[in-house]
Amino acid sequence: MKNTIFQCVTAIICVVAISVTGMLGMGKIADAKIEAAKLAAESAGNVSTDAGSVDGTVDGTVDGTVDGTVDGTVDGTVDGTVDGTDATTPDAGTDATTPDAGTDATTPSAGADNGPKAPATNAEITAYYNNAINKVISSKAGFKKSRTTVMHSLDGGALLKIQLVVDMVNEFLGVGTTQWDNAKGKQENLSKASLAAGDVKQASCADKNGIYTITMTLKDGNSSANHSSNSDTSPLQRSGVFAGKGDKTAYDYKNSENIHTAINGVDDCTAESAIEKVTNTKIVAVIDSKTGKLQSLTASWDWYVELTQVKYTIVSIKQAKGNATTTVKLTNVQW
C-alpha cells in the first residue's frame, strides 16, 4: 500500500516537472522526461493491491492526470513550441470554426428558396400594399374598374317624392354599377395609397407560387362637414380608391365634404350639415412578388350618411339619411 502511494506521488512529481520543463521549451530533455513519466505511470498502474480504492484512485487519477496532462499539455506545448508546429492551429480540415465544405449554416444549400420574403407585420403589409398601388399610378398602367353601390335604405321624406331629386341622388352616389376602362398611359380613376399600420384592424399576406394575396380590414371612420369646416378620420381615404375633395361623381369614396359640396352646388338646393360613418372596410390585393406589380384589387365598405336641414326649391326637411354598400374592383392591369 505505502509502496503504491509512493510510486503514485513519484509519477505525479515527474508530470509536474515535465510540464514546467515543457513550458520552458527544453527540447529533447522534455521528450526524455515525457517517456520517464509514462513509464512511471505504467508502473504505478501495474502495482497489485488488495484495496480496490487504491487501484481506482491510481488508475483514474494517475492515468487520467498523467496521460491527459502529459499527452495534452506537454505534447501540445512541447511539440508546438519546440518542434515548431503551431498547437493553436488545428490540423488541416479540422478547424472547428470553419465548417466543412457544404456545411456552412449561414449559406442556404443548393436549391433553397432565395426568393423575396412575404411581408408579415401590419407595417410591412401596408407599406408593400402602398408601393403596389402607387406603382400603378407612377407607371400609368391601364386597367378596368367597376364600382357597384347598393342602397339599403334612403329616407328623404317629401324630397324623395320629387323624381328629379331621386335621380340626382342616385347619380351622385353611383347607385348601381358603373364601369371604366382606364387606358394605358393615363393616370386617372385611382388615388395614391398611404395606409399606415395604425389604420388596420387585421392584415395578412398569403404567398402562393410567388403571388401575394394581401387581405386587410381597415378601422372604422367618420367624416363631417358644414358651411365652415370639415373633417375625415376614415382610413379609406388613404386606401388608393379614387377619392378627393369637392363635387365629383367619379369618386369611389365620397365623404361628408363631397356630399355637402354636391348638394349645396345644385341650384335651389341646400343642406346645413352632413355626417358619414364608414364601417366594415375590406381590401384584397393580388400582387406579383417578383415585380411588386398589382394584378387585381377589390375594396368594399359600408357607409351611413345623415343630412340636416335639407331644402330643394320650396320643399324642406329636417333630416335625410341612408346607408349603402360600395364595392370597387380593378382587373386586367396592363403594364
Q: Which amino acid is at 125?
A: I
Whether 175 has a pLDDT exceeding 70, the answer reads yes
Distance between first and last Cα of the chain: 95
The three grid cell numbers given for residue 173, joined into one nine-digit string: 352616389
pLDDT in tens, 282-310: 999 999 999 999 999 999 999 999 999 99
Whether 63 has a pLDDT exceeding 80, the answer reads no
Whether 272 has a pLDDT exceeding 90, the answer reads yes
pLDDT in tens, 308-321: 999 999 999 999 99
User: How much is the pLDDT for 116?
Assistant: 80
Whether 28 has a pLDDT exceeding 50, the answer reads no
* pTM metric for this prediction: 0.66
Spatial distance between the Cα atoms of 172 and 196, rounded to a whole number of angstroms:
30
Q: What is the mean pLDDT of residues 68-92?
A: 43
Q: Is 12 helix (H, G, I), strand (E, B) or coil?
A: helix
User: How much is the pLDDT for 114?
Assistant: 61
Q: Is 186 helix (H, G, I), strand (E, B) or coil?
A: coil
Whether 40 has a pLDDT exceeding 80, the answer reads no
Lowest mean pLDDT segment, chosen from 34-43, 87-96, 116-125: 87-96
Whether 246 has a pLDDT exceeding 60, the answer reads yes
Evaluate whether 187 touches 143 at the Cβ level (below 8 Å): no
pLDDT in tens, 101-120: 443 433 333 334 566 899 99
Q: Which of 126, 292, 281, 293 is nearest to 204 (CA)?
A: 126
Evaluate whether 143 touches 332 at the Cβ level (below 8 Å): yes
